[in-house]
Chain A
Amino acid sequence: MSRKSLFGLAVVFFFLAISQADACPVCFQSEREESRWAFYATTVLLTCLPLSLVGGAVLWLRKRFNQLKDELVN
Chain B
Amino acid sequence: METATVSPTGPTDLKKRRNLVPSSVLGMIMFVMSEIMFFGGLISAFMIVKAGHIMWPPPDQPRLPVTLTAFNTLFLIASGVLVYLSNKSLASGDKEGAKKQLGIAILLAFVFVGVQGYEWVRMLGHGLTMTSSTYGSFFFMIIGCHALHVCGAVAALIIIFLKFSKPDFKASSFWGVQVFWYFVVGVWPILYYLVYLS
Contacts and interface: CB of A to CB of B under 8 A. Distances in A.
Interface of A: 25-26, 29-30, 32, 34-35, 37-39, 41-42, 45-46, 49-50, 53-54, 57, 61, 64-65, 68-69, 71-73
Nearest to A34: B51
B51 A53 contact: no
B21 interface: yes
A42 B8 contact: no
A contacts with B: majority SS:
helix
B125 interface: no
Report the interface size class on chain B: 20 to 34
A64 B41 contact: no
A37 B12 CA distance: 56
B44 A42 contact: yes
B39 to A, nearest CB: 10
B40 A45 contact: yes
26 contacts: A25-B49, A25-B52, A26-B48, A30-B52, A32-B54, A34-B51, A34-B52, A37-B51, A38-B47, A38-B48, A38-B52, A39-B48, A42-B47, A42-B48, A45-B40, A46-B41, A50-B37, A53-B33, A53-B36, A57-B29, A64-B20, A65-B20, A68-B8, A69-B8, A71-B18, A72-B7
A55 to B, nearest CB: 11
Given A49-B36, A50-B37, A57-B29, A29 B9 contact: no
B50 interface: yes
A73 B8 CA distance: 10
Contact of B8 (A25, A35, A38, A65): A65
